[in-house]
Structure 1
Amino acid sequence: MMNTSSNCSLQANFQYHFFSTIYSLVFILGMTENALALYVLTCKVKNTTQSYVYFINLAIVDTMFVCMLPFRIHYHINENNWIFGDITCRITGTLYFTNIYLSIGFFTCICVDRYVAVVHPVTYLRIKISYYSIMITVLLWAIAAAIMVPLILGGRLDNFIEHNNKTACFENFSLRSWTTRMVPYNTCALVFGFVIPFSIIMISYPLIAKRISKIQTSIHKKKALRTIYMILAISILCFLPYHITHLLHFMMRIKLFDHCAFASFIYKLRRVTLALVSINCCLNPIMYYLTSTSYSGLITLKLRRLRAKKVYTIYDRDVTKFNCTYRNKL
């Protein structure tokens, strides 16, 4: 429960069973899928290109996320009572939001890489993409670490101790924190962590899809388009609702509006979008399945050697043979 004023009490009693159920399912599916994805991407896939670097880092981020979910499940089963200490709270809370923004960051990298490869193939061949993809990946992790370390090693979080002696974790900050410490974090997260990357994704992928749809003879055109639609769907269904409600939640916290009924609705809706955003770590491995022929073959237990065939895909394996069709030797 949260009090925004003396006359408005915000609560969402459904959240305890809702979060624990969703997070339990995400933990089971996410751990299984991402463990398989890491195994395939590190042990079975050969002759990789720059997209591989982004995919494997995305799988690492998702694995880190699902590993901290048991703490959140216990927290919500006990009606939002945190018993694991302040440091553990900061680590798990920071990893939760790191997953969101690193996932969006790697989505954007994949988007830009595929846009250049499909729309500007000559330019794509002239650039040492593998080198740049590693440098960009290191940069993203460095930025994430620069944000995570102060949150983890900083002062004790000013969570409320409720009247029934329950300790909140990474929520219910005081008005002072929302108007001072939390302002730069929320502003940068919304603008640089979501608005700009999401805009790039929403502009680039439709252009890629339009270019692919013009190809008339490729039997794998539908597969490439499904991959694009999968990425767009994850962005729209998981990340967009969360950031809209988070913006409204942030405005409510800093008292830009104080309408009790609307504040109560946003408080409840944010519970739903917080759970929804976690589902991305279960959907990402499906994207690997749609993208990689060898991943698909392993899932279906068809590990026989595939004959060389021409495939049109946005996840190419041999960029030196870049053309309207790609040579896929998975």
Structure 2
Amino acid sequence: MADNSWAERVSNETVTNASSELALEADFQYSLFTAVYSVVFVLGLIENVLALYFLCCRAKHVSHSCVYMMNLALVDTLFVFVLPFKIHYHLNRNNWIFGDMACRITGTLYYINIYLSIAFFTCICIDRYTAVLHPFTYIRIKLIHYLVVVAVLWVVALSVIVSLILGGPLHNRGVRNTTACFENFGKHSWTYRMAPYNILALVFGFVIPFSIILIFYPLIAKRISQIKHSVRKRKALSTIYIILVICTLCFLPYHLTHLLHFLMRIQVIQNEVFTNLVYKMRRVTLALVSLNCCLNPLLYYFTSSSKRWHLNFKLRFRSKSVYTICDQKFGELSWGYKLHQRCGNKKPGDGIN
């Protein structure tokens, strides 16, 4: 009875809210989301499956910090499998047909990807900071410490997923008699049910991690810049730049507009023109935030100095070589013999010294 009354209250609330949503329509969103999510699905699936393959199967001398990379690739792969449902949803003008449970699961996985990605970025940042500025402390860190951090993050994420899935319906009446999924909540839902999740996500999921990244990475870059020119220096700086670009392009615009959107939903912001602008901006930033799934593999590439990130598709023409047993280094080619062979100066007895 309690669940039925709650569902009826939400249904009545969203019906009255649907009339206000009419003023918040953004017709460009349907083609925008369909196009962006389709590209992200294709590229993200290929890139992250390959990343998992190379990190788990082809990697040699894997560092402990690669645990974060593997889990980041895993999160992105899970996110990719959500996108076909989102593509169908937006292609049909925000009409959800897959049922309430599918809405809860896909919706929570969509947002969990955002905050777990930021969390693993922060872990990578702290790991690099410790390695560069506190090397003696870093060498005492063991694999078990990384596994504990990863386990804690996944437990927190799964607890949020379970609480959202079991907390009640997340699909409701949209505009034009459509069924909205994970949006178009009324004021009551935003104020009482969704507010704690949004506040915790903004503070602990973005403000604190992003502050750590903004403080630590300049310190790391300053220390690395003092090192003489080397390949490793370029790779380290490239890693920093890639993470900063991903955070600035994907996560920062989304969270700024999401904060405004949250204030709009609880009616702290009531200006009609500004409200409509915020709604449209949030559509764009939701598309941008999904691009992190395609950009993260660049991070795997630049942080892997000893891994083979290329497939051996090239045809190699091997020259015939003779190796001697008395060269200074085993396996070193006897260049003297090869030179004699090319010049036609081979004599009986030559070849093995």
TM-score bin, normalised by smaller chain: 0.7 to 0.9
Of 274, 277, 280, the residue aligned with 1:265 is 277
Deviations 1:49-82 (A, max 9, x none): 2211000000000000001100000000000000
Structure 2 gaps, min length 5: 1-13, 317-353
Q: Are residue 209 (structure 1) and residue 221 (structure 2) matched?
A: yes
Deviations 1:258-301 (A, max 9, x none): 00000000000000000000000100001111111355542575
- Cα 1:295/1:33, change in 2 over 3 Å: farther
Deviations 1:306-326 (A, max 9, x none): xxxxxxxxxxxxxxxxxxxxx
CA–CA separation in structure 2 for the residues paired with 1:267 and 1:116: 41
Which residues of 2 match residues 142-181 of structure 1 at below 5 A?
142-157=155-170, 159-162=172-175, 164-181=176-193
Tell me the SS of whatever aligns to 2:210: helix
Identity %: 62
Residue in 1 that maps onto 2:263: 251
Of 59, 68, 78, the residue aligned with 2:92 is 78
Residue in 1 that maps onto 2:146: 133
Which residues of 2 match residues 49-128 of structure 1 at below 5 A?
49-128=63-142
Residue 46 of structure 1: how far off its partner (Å): 2.5
Residue in 1 that maps onto 2:236: 224
CA–CA separation in structure 2 for the residues paired with 1:183 and 1:72: 24
Tell me the SS of whatever aligns to 2:139: helix
CA–CA separation in structure 2 for the residues paired with 1:158 and 1:176: 15
The count of aligned residue pairs is: 302
Which residue identity is paired with 1:42? C
Q: Are residue 25 (structure 1) and residue 35 (structure 2) matched?
A: no
- Cα 1:272/1:81, change in 2 over 3 Å: same
CA–CA separation in structure 2 for the residues paired with 1:294 and 1:29: 24
Retained in 2: the 8 A contact 1:159–1:174? Answer: no
CA–CA separation in structure 2 for the residues paired with 1:142 and 1:220: 35
- Cα 1:204/1:302, change in 2 over 3 Å: farther
Of structures 1 and 2, the larger Rg is shown by: 2
Retained in 2: the 8 A contact 1:8–1:260? Answer: no
Retained in 2: the 8 A contact 1:3–1:9? Answer: no
What TM-score do the two structures reach when normalised by structure 2? 0.81
Residue 160 of structure 1: how far off its partner (Å): 2.4
Retained in 1: the 8 A contact 2:21–2:184? Answer: no
What TM-score do the two structures reach when normalised by structure 1? 0.87
Residue 127 of structure 1: how far off its partner (Å): 3.0
Residue 5 of structure 1: how far off its partner (Å): 7.6
Tell me the SS of whatever aligns to 1:180: helix
Structure 1 gaps, min length 5: 305-330
Which residue identity is paired with 1:58? L
Residue 155 of structure 1: how far off its partner (Å): 1.6
Q: Are residue 291 (structure 1) and residue 303 (structure 2) matched?
A: yes
- Cα 1:158/1:25, change in 2 over 3 Å: closer
Residue 206 of structure 1: how far off its partner (Å): 1.1
- Cα 1:169/1:218, change in 2 over 3 Å: same
Tell me the SS of whatever aligns to 1:126: coil
CA–CA separation in structure 1 for the residues paired with 2:133 and 2:50: 32
CA–CA separation in structure 2 for the residues paired with 1:7 and 1:80: 13
Retained in 1: the 8 A contact 2:174–2:180? Answer: yes
